[in-house]
A and B are shown apart, each in its own frame.
Chain A
Amino acid sequence: MALDQAFRLSSILLAATGFASLTLAIVLPLWLLTFAGGAFALALLRVNHATAISGALQHLRLSALTWNIFLLLAFAGFWIDLLIVSQELLPAGIHFLVLLLVNKLSNLDQRRDFLHLYAISLITLLASAALTTQLWYAPFFFVYLVAGVWTLLLYHLWQEQEENAGRHMTSANPAQTRSPQPTMTVRFFWTTNVLAAGAFGLTLLFFFLIPRIGVGLLQNTHGESLRTTGFSEQVDLGVIGPVKQDPSIVMRVELPDSVGPASTRGPLYLRGVAYNRYNGKSWSNSLPHRRMLTELPPGTFTLRTSGAKLPASPRGLRQDILLEPLDTAVLFGAPFPSTITGTFLSVQSDLMGSLHLAFPSHTRIQYTAYSLPTSLSSAERTAAAVLYPEHILQQYLQIPAVSSQIVELARHVTQPATSVFQTVTLIQAHLLADYRYNLDVPSLQSAHPLEDFLLTRKTGYCEHYATAMVVLLRAVGIPARLVTGFLATEWNEFGGYYTVRQRDAHAWVEVYFPQSGWITMDPTPPVPETVGQTWWQSMGRAMDSVRLQWDRLFVHFSANDQLTVVQGIRESGEVVRTKLSESLTALSVKSSAMLRRVLSTLTPTGIPHAALLFMLAICAAYLGRRLLRSPRNDASQPDVLSAHQRTVITLYTNMLHCLAQHGIEKSASTTPFELLRQVREQWFEAWPTADALTQLYTHVRFGQAPLTREDCTIAEDLLRRLRTLERATPPQNNRTL
């Protein structure tokens, strides 16, 4: 098969595969199907140059203007389809796409047209992929891939041949001039197929292996977990201080359910571990017993309070948390996490509501936490005294042997209190007012860090404040405990999530009220603003959000994410459509009102208005004409060949072919009339014909004269005469050589 033919066939096959997959994915209207089918059939018939049919088809061609009008109509039809008929983006877009395909199939002339055809066929394939998840798509996809490889190869061969054709027929050395007409052999066919199948297999292999290898390898080689402090069994007072400068990211928290502008987002407490026992230097947990959370349904772990039934769906504040690999197995969540969903084997909880995995994760983990916040009931807000259960009193009133000055201080501070809650607030207020926040505290050196903080130094950071508050509360008989975790303040406005860093590590206090439960109190004065507003800081946040999306969309891409993306596109299309139809309705109402007003002015008294309107219409028509004309002006610009010029070049090239077959080769540097002189010397019988053709060619090609229909017929006649002459006389290669 000749190269040109094979190339055109494979291009049509490519388009046909895309189209066929589309017809199976969506029900197309019958007229569109027949229309497209007809276009394919015509394109196939045109492939064979030699037959009489293709000759007839050449005359059947519609002009470029007709096609442009057709496209404009199709575009208008697309909007009508979108807004009135199918009322959905996808079917309307597909109908339009099929019309585009028909247009391109009918106008396959230049390289550009083929490239457009490929783009359209790719879109059809993608569209059908979006519409279906059926298995039959796979064979179509495979055929498309194979046809794509053929077409790509043939396209380049074809392009090369076209370029060579010009060079060859004119090459100075006659020995090289016979350009071999490449033909498509069976071997070429099979080699291409093997190539395509191999590429497909390799792609699949890479697709399945590479991301997994990357995740596995990368995180094993330098997957060093972040070293955290403050979440182990025992926490020494003052350990958080050193990490308060560390900007490494610990986790990112999205709040998908909460709405509102970013500026209103306050700090978010992310609870880690609670401690109840203080020995004067360090905090520990005296209730190490843990229990498993109920896993029902799989992947959802619920903290079950004894006797209560499991809620049908998780309740409370939802947080989507992406946790970097840490050296601790603690799971974080806003107080108080009740349900965790994630792909874990098990989740455990201790008696103070801290959640743990069985062991620390070496990879980044994603989970969703649902938290039930507690709030103080109004009765307890004013109660003068409350009655605590026995087990609470046992566990949460322990004080180490502290100096009597601290007890004295507690009594002194809480003296004016009239209620329990006021006692708590008075202690908090005292700490907030009389102490200064300062990270620069020599840690672990003092034998009595709390006394140092409360009585002498009076500067410290969150741990000191929280410890002091717990001890002061306990000194006046109120149960309290220390909690460590993170205080998220850095809101990433680009990605819509909190970035939590090491330096956000925090410690605060939970106070017990029998009816309300554990109430979160924070005696630490607010830390100076950490969320920077300078452009490079917000740039950093944007970069972080991009990095997160990259991880989510590419590295950890899943069917779930895919679905979300598709749904998002569909929803936004829907929004655009409704908005458009609304505005169109508004526009039509307005325009009909205007029309009515115009009609009312067309009464005899309104003649000036009518005249004005008439003039406006003339202006509009003139403008429209100018606009319609401008593309033609562009086309006549020198660097673009007009249709006439292209036609005449084709005619002239045909003449050159014919002459070359007779042994008269045009070298690249030969001018048309120099060639004519050569013809006159070597093949006198053909000279008058060649002369007439050359005259016409130069006149149209360089004189930019229009090529009339008669000219065309005459030229074709001349060419035919030249061919007959060529067949009649034997080639005179020996003479030219």
Chain B
Amino acid sequence: MNASQSIKSLQDNIAQVIKGKSRVIEMAIVCLLARGHLLIEDVPGVGKTTLAHSLARSLDCSFKRIQFTSDLLPSDIVGISVFNRQKQAFEFMPGPLFAHIVLADEINRTTPKTQSSLLEAMSEAQISVDNHTYPLHQPFMVIATQNPAEYHGTFPLPESQLDRFLMRLRIGYPTPAEEKKVLDRPQLLHPADEIQPVLSAQHIVDLQAQAEKVRMEDSLMDYLLAIVLATRRNELLSLGVSTRGALALCKAAKALALVRDRTYCLPEDIKELAPTVLSHRVMLSRSQGMRTKTGEHTERILQDILDSVPVPI
């Protein structure tokens, strides 16, 4: 099975559960192939958890879900060392982060302390407890969700942590026809439990390596950097895209090229991904209102920027 076939089967498999959201599925797969983490920001009940669940189920990977609450402690997610009486030694009990796909539900509900304990895991794919460093599974992907409608008693994610998510997605409500398909399904089992794994973890690691080899022509690199530079110079934005953001866009564009069965990037890859990959990495100027409320507004500004940066010919 070659790369395009595996990716196609993965897409089809998830599409059995998530109806009519092919773009969201594609983005999730791009995120997975680019070794990134996904932040899904939408109202409850549109399928955030189901998306994460079905992705994990399709992959023959371990899947853990953490419900973030305000009293959750770092050790609750990372793991804890427990004294073993028989061995007369401390023994590490791995937490839920030791899984391939981790769903961090309502991540903004927990305290910054716990949020930041996710940090090392997300960026380095390893965990340090009691002077020991434990590598996490490969592939490792955190899918975090947060609810933009409700802000009471939340801790908005700090800028440094937002930057560690490759992309921020919004799912949106399905169209009535698609919604009808969802209702029409037998409700005996959770739909995500019905699907069968199509790819192994090793497959995904191979695909990730393949995505890295996708060629990005020099002029496209310039195009990407021109976009990044434009965000830094835009007066509506008080904080532009960092170098990590540029790197993320580059990785994501390569992964998207692979998903679309190409060995090279196109300008559209970059242009299409830029709002999704960059919108949570910029900050609006004071005059543009509160950042947390204006995800769509940010994406609109980014779209304007994209319309002003010339595409290489």
Contact = CB atoms under 8 A, between A and B. Distances in A.
B171 interface: no
Interface string B260-276: 00111111100100000
B157 interface: no
A638 interface: yes
A672 to B, nearest CB: 7
Contacts of A638: 217-218, 221
A671 B268 contact: yes
Contacts of A701: 217
A702 interface: yes
A709 B215 CA distance: 24
A85 to B, nearest CB: 47
A172 B310 CA distance: 11
Contact of B264 (A639, A669, A704): A704
Contacts of B263: 703
A673 B257 CA distance: 14
Nearest to A639: B218
Interface string B215-241: 101101100000000000000000000
B15 interface: no
A170 B313 CA distance: 10
A653 B313 contact: yes
A673 B267 CA distance: 9
A166 interface: yes
B313 A652 contact: yes
Interface in A661-693: 667-674
B300 to A, nearest CB: 15
A667 B306 CA distance: 12
Given A698-B266, A704-B264, A669 B220 contact: no
B313 A704 contact: no
A39 interface: no
A704 B268 contact: no
Contacts of B313: 166, 649, 652-653, 656
Contact of A671 (B218, B262, B311): B311
B267 A172 contact: no
Given A672-B266, A672-B268, A674-B268, A702 B217 contact: yes
A669 B217 contact: no
Contacts of A698: 266
B266 A704 contact: no
Contacts of B220: 702
Contacts of A674: 268, 271
Nearest to B220: A702
B86 interface: no
B309 to A, nearest CB: 6
Contacts of A668: 309-311
B120 interface: no
A68 to B, nearest CB: 25
A672 B217 contact: no
Contacts of A166: 310, 313
Contacts of B215: 702-704
Nearest to B309: A669
B308 interface: yes
A700 to B, nearest CB: 10
A702 B310 contact: no
Contacts of A170: 310
A36 to B, nearest CB: 37
Given A649-B313, A703-B263, A172 B307 contact: yes
Contacts, number: 54
A673 B262 CA distance: 14
Q: Which of A170, A649, A673, A701 has the most CB of B within 10 A?
A: A701
A702 B264 contact: yes
A691 to B, nearest CB: 14
B262 A703 contact: yes
Interface in B264-313: 264-268, 271, 306-311, 313
Given A669-B306, A671-B271, A702 B265 contact: yes
Bin the interface of chain A by size: 20 to 34
A703 B264 contact: yes
Contacts of B264: 702-704
Interface string A695-721: 000100111100000000000000000
Contacts of B268: 671-674
Interface in B181-218: 215, 217-218
B3 to A, nearest CB: 16
Contacts of B262: 703
Contacts of A670: 311
A672 B267 contact: yes
Nearest to B311: A671
Nearest to A705: B264
Contacts of A704: 215, 217, 264
Contacts of A172: 307
Contact of B310 (A652, A656, A669, A672): A669
A594 to B, nearest CB: 49
Nearest to A697: B313
A658 to B, nearest CB: 15
A674 B307 CA distance: 12
B213 to A, nearest CB: 13
Contacts of A669: 271, 306-311
Contacts of A703: 215, 262-264
Contacts of B221: 638
Contact of B266 (A167, A639, A652, A673): A673
A29 to B, nearest CB: 46
Nearest to B310: A668
A698 B217 CA distance: 11
B266 A702 contact: yes
B78 to A, nearest CB: 42
B225 to A, nearest CB: 13
Interface string A145-175: 0000000000000000000001100101000
A439 B267 CA distance: 85
Q: Which of B221, B262, B267 has the most CB of A within 10 A?
A: B267
A653 B308 CA distance: 20
Nearest to A675: B311
Q: Which of B263, B266, B313 has the most CB of A within 10 A?
A: B313
Contacts of B308: 669
A704 B271 CA distance: 20
A474 B46 CA distance: 129
Contacts of B217: 638, 701-702, 704
B198 to A, nearest CB: 28
A69 to B, nearest CB: 29
Contacts of B311: 668-672
Interface in A556-594: none
Contacts of A649: 313
A656 B311 CA distance: 14
Nearest to A701: B217
A698 B266 CA distance: 7
Interface string A625-660: 000000000000011000000000100110010000
Nearest to A703: B264
A550 to B, nearest CB: 47
Nearest to B218: A638
A609 B267 CA distance: 60
A527 B307 CA distance: 83
A669 B268 CA distance: 10
Contacts of A167: 310
The 10 closest A-B pairs by CB, nearest first: A638-B218, A668-B310, A703-B264, A671-B267, A671-B268, A702-B217, A669-B307, A702-B264, A673-B268, A671-B311
Interface of B: 215, 217-218, 220-221, 262-268, 271, 306-311, 313
17 contacts: A166-B313, A170-B310, A638-B221, A639-B218, A652-B313, A667-B307, A668-B310, A670-B311, A671-B267, A672-B266, A673-B268, A702-B215, A702-B220, A702-B267, A703-B262, A703-B263, A703-B264
Given A669-B309, A671-B267, A702-B220, 13 more contacts: A638-B221, A639-B218, A669-B308, A669-B311, A671-B266, A671-B311, A673-B268, A701-B217, A702-B215, A702-B265, A703-B263, A703-B264, A704-B217
